[in-house]
Amino acid sequence: MTDAVNPQDGPVDGPVDGPVDGYPGVGRVLVVIPTYNEADNVRIIVDRVRKATPNVDVLVADDGSPDGTGAIVDELAAADAQVHALHRTAKEGLGAAYVAGFSWARDRAYDAVVEMDADGSHQPEQLHLLLDALAESDAVLGSRYVPGGKTVNWPVSRQLISRIGNIYVRVVLGMPVRDATGGYRAYRMPVLDKIEIDKVASQGYCFQVEGSWKAHKSGCRLVEVPITFVERERGQSKMSQKIVREALWRVTVWGAQARVDAVRRLFRKRA
């Protein structure tokens, strides 16, 4: 089941009435932020997360950035016990970085994880919207395409690719999610185990689609909340034609397989 909810938008100073070791109704939360050459952004984004929602922890998963991102994260972690660094030796892609971060969270008994970009496109001041919704659901997708959601300073070409891609996903997979490619989302840890997130091999947009698709198929309660997506001001986007092609190919294969499975179930029932 997928719902769209419209909580009050806007920045906050962070909850003040919840337990110091967790977010009310959710528990211990880890925000996983993958990085590669984000030296200009990582200090800013971590600071914003810590100010906006002080009762969550942050893990920066750096893929061996040559621009010194990892050293900055070590500095932040040394100054703040709620900030952690996960150093990876090579650039292996967004999906692999998230899987490593989720495994780190599982080993330390976190109750939920959040995906967030390092470039500021995901507003930390809206994190509370996802976590408030997670208190009543299994997974929450920050959505640009439900009422109240929007994009800011995004090129028309990127908007077209994103919107057409999401329509294609919705039609081919029959999944009632308006923003399956978005990367600002929160999962309860049991959901990640249920959908076997460690076995997901997709990257980029497709990693997000596959996570949504598996959660939907497994019967998890998915909720979309409106967010404001802001185009990065510093650094270069990691978006590429290869990522778009991968998403198109995999979604087509999943859709075809889902229809074959449906036909087989129908014949079994008639038999």
The predicted model scores a pTM of 0.85
Q: What is the tally of structural domains in the chain?
A: 1
- Number of residues assigned to the chain: 271
Residue 13's pLDDT is 42
Query: What's the rounded Cα separation, in Å, for the pair 70 and 86?
Result: 9
* CA–CA dist 244, 15 (Å, integer): 38
CATH number of the domain to which 31 belongs: 3.90.550.10
Closest CA to 115 of 182, 37, 18, 202: 182
Predicted local confidence at residue 1, as pLDDT? 43
Q: Which domain holds residue 27?
A: 2-270
Chain centroid to CA 249: how far? 21
Radius of gyration of the chain from its Cα atoms, rounded to whole angstroms: 18
Please report, in tens digits, the pLDDT of each residue of the chain (271 residues total). Answer: 444 444 433 433 443 333 357 999 999 999 999 999 999 999 999 999 999 999 999 999 999 999 999 999 999 999 999 999 999 988 888 899 999 999 999 999 999 999 999 999 999 999 999 999 999 999 999 999 999 999 998 889 888 989 999 999 899 998 999 999 999 999 999 999 999 998 887 776 788 999 999 999 999 999 999 999 998 666 555 555 666 677 677 778 767 877 776 667 666 776 6
Query: Which residues, other chains included, contact 90 with Cβ-Cβ below 8 Å and sequence gap of 6+?
Result: 63, 64
CB 154 within 8 A of CB 160: no
The answer to whether the beta carbons of residues 134 and 221 sit under 8 Å apart is no
